[in-house]
Amino acid sequence: MEEYNVKIDAFEGPLDLLLHLINRLEIDIYDIPVSEITEQYLLFIHAMKELKLDVASEYLVMAATLLAIKSKMLLPKHEEEQDEEFFYEEEEDPRDELVERLIEYKKYKEAAHEFKSLEQDRGLIYTKPPSDLSDYAKEAPSDKQDLNVTIYDMLAAFQKLMRRKKLQKPLSTKVTRQEIPIERRMGEILELLREKRERKSFYDLFPVPDRSHIVVTFLAVLELMKRQEIIVEQEQNFAEIFVTAQKGADSSGNR
């Protein structure tokens, strides 16, 4: 008897096993030699039992189906003599149903393999999930139709501000060690906005042409937006940005 190295997980059912045998024996799937394929299939079942592997019922059902087909194929065919005016219907091949099932299974198996390959290719692509910037968004007043100002609008305004400062006056290059707490700058901005009681241009919040002061002021504005202590408005895309203090906001950045 031929030796079998059996691994039951290699097959996903009796049809998968039959396809394996058909490919290994180089058999035409449309003209299956039932006697040979049945013998090979039963050898596999016996090998599984010898190895004390649990044989699923579906494998046994397929074995019975193959034996039934083999029996029908062995029965002699009797063709009745008929007149030339009549035609006789050709007897149905007992293998037809099995062939159809195998072909259909093969299509799904190949499609599953293709999807698996696409999944592996897609797994090599890494993307960054979108960042949640909702904390920096503001709720526009119900009586206004102004556009919501996003963090990207603020960054664009900051870049424009830096270009303006460079054109008007070079930024200070003197090395100094003067750190400005963001909380203090937030309070100064709120105090300025509350004192004027009107909206101010975003660029008016940067009176000092010092890089560190500009950066701290910008971060203070973002934090005030996050805490919803200020209202940031823009009439239309790329238009000037205006800032207003929320009602009830004090100079310490609390409401």
**Total structural domains within the chain:** 2
> Which residues constitute the domain of residue 29?
8-76+85-112
Domain co-membership, 92 together with 146: no
Which residues touch 72 (CB under 8 Å, ≥6 apart)?
94
In a domain, 63, yes or no: yes
pLDDT band at 252 (very low <50, low <70, confident <90, very high): low
On whether residue 1 sits in a domain, the answer given is no
Q: Tokens at residue 49, please? A: 């039992």
Q: Are residues 223 and 155 in the same domain?
A: yes
Q: Are residues 99 and 148 in the same domain?
A: no
Tell me if 176 is assigned to some domain: yes
Examine residue 128 and state whether it is found in any structural domain, yes or no.
Answer: no
pLDDT in tens, 72-92: 888 776 555 444 444 445 567
Q: Are 218 and 158 in contact (CB under 8 A)?
A: yes
Q: Give the ranges where the chain is alpha helix by DSSP (H).
A: 14-24, 34-50, 57-74, 96-123, 151-168, 182-196, 211-226
Q: Are residues 157 and 94 in the same domain?
A: no
Same domain, 176 and 100: no
Residue type, 206: F
Query: For residue 3, is it within any domain?
Result: no
CA 18 – CA 20 distance, rounded (Å) = 5
CB 192 within 8 A of CB 249: no
Are residue 101 and residue 147 in the same domain, yes or no?
no
| CA gap 105, 128 in Å, rounded | 38
Greatest CA span in the chain, whole angstroms?
116
Does residue 54 lie within any of the structural domains?
A: yes
pLDDT of residue 146: 46
Distance CA 245, CA 224 (A): 9
- pLDDT for 81 equals 46
Judge whether 177 lies within some domain.
Answer: yes
**CATH number of the domain residue 199 falls in:** 1.10.10.580
- Is residue 61, in this structure, part of any structural domain at all? yes
Residues 94 and 27 in one domain: yes
Domain check: are 103 and 12 in the same one?
yes
Same domain, 141 and 102: no
> Please, are residues 130 and 221 in contact by the beta-carbon 8 Å criterion?
no
Q: How far is residue 70 from each of residues 5, 32, 74, 218, measured CA to CA in Å?
A: 27, 11, 6, 85
Model confidence over 134-185: pLDDT tens digits? 776 655 444 444 456 777 778 888 888 887 766 555 555 554 555 788 999 9
pTM above 0.85, yes or no: no
Kindly indicate the confidence band of residue 224, based on its pLDDT and cuts at 50, 70 and 90. Answer: very high
- Assess whether 155 and 235 both reside in one domain: yes
pLDDT by residue (tens digit) across 21-48? 888 888 888 888 888 888 888 888 877 7
The span from the CA of 228 to the CA of 255, in Å, is: 9
Task: Report the b/e string of 164-191 with b at 16+ CB within 10 A.
Answer: ebeeeeeeeeeeeeeebebeebbbebbe
**Is the per-residue pLDDT at 1 higher than 80?**
no
